[in-house]
Amino acid sequence: MLLRAIWQPTGWQAVADHALHDVTPVLFFLTWLVWDHGGLKWRDALWAVVPPLAYCGYAFARGAADGWYAYWFLNPEALNLTQLTASIVLLTAAFLIIAVTLVSIDRLLGGRRGVARAA
């Protein structure tokens, strides 16, 4: 949602963009909400950093190959090393914060249902 103002896709690209960025997160959250709770451990939140770090690797490899970077905040040609590092850290931290929040809610909901929580 933070990046909507910088790109307005049309046609099938708009359909794909909305499916990826609007529908998928809602479906994930609804699926997670109705699933059994209490089984997540704190260390499970660490897996949330894998997708953004993997995407950064992909973005840098693709950019090096063809010069195109999908996001300005991951463009090493436009940012210095400090800015680029800050972008990666903030992106990764955002995923981790969301994951920790979901694990916290999972453990809270699991506790209310009488599910044993493992450390």
pTM over 0.95: no
113: its two tokens: 């249902």
| pLDDT per residue of the chain (119 residues) written in tens, 0 to 9 | 666 667 788 899 888 888 888 898 899 889 988 888 999 999 999 999 999 999 999 999 999 999 999 889 999 999 999 999 999 999 999 999 999 999 999 999 888 655 444 44
